Amino acid sequence: MNNQKKKITSLPVYLDEFERERLEAIAQSWGTSLSTTIKRLIRELIANFLGKVGNKYRHQIYAVGTTVIVGSQTMPAEAFGLFNPAQIAMTCMFGGASAQGNALINGLPGVINAAMTVMLFVYFVSSGVKVANALGEGQEVTQMVQQPVGIFFITLVLFIAQNILFANVTAACN
């Protein structure tokens, strides 16, 4: 008894003559088979839909993300950010005797952490929407994704480095 699932190799698509002629023309211009053309058209349709929805609700996504990031910074128990260990270290650096009672200096590390996190969030959302729009239009996106991927890896390296550098720094500045 063979318990392996059988892989579905084809999905029947029923087209009238006009639709089939148009699909064959597209397949011929792309130099692909009909099934490959259908798969590519479906991928482009989904990407186009995601791009349009992302464009339509882009500002709401930015607003909600910014509100969550900044709002969480006001509650120390819930605070998060990509640069939280660096924020704790800056709080220790700025929190000397000269900063006692100075709300601006005491709040600066949290503002810097929240600002950097918000900027990266907005950047990656806008880059994702651009890529989805380009994919939906059938464009080549290799050049388009190089900068966001590079920034992602730089952010990852910075995240790892600050976690290593400030691993033993606590909120008590020990």
Range of the domain at 27: 13-43
Residues 73 and 141 in one domain: yes
Q: Which of 41, 58, 57, 42 is nearest to 127 (CA)?
A: 58
Residues 93 and 30 in one domain: no
Residues 38 and 64 in one domain: no
171 in a domain, yes or no?
Answer: no
Q: Which of 107, 109, 117, 115 is nearest to 159 (CA)?
A: 117
Residues 109 and 34 in one domain: no
| pTM (global) more than 0.75 | no
Condensed to tens digits (0 to 9), the pLDDT of residues 7-65 reads: 666 667 788 888 889 989 999 998 988 888 888 888 888 888 888 888 888 888 888 88
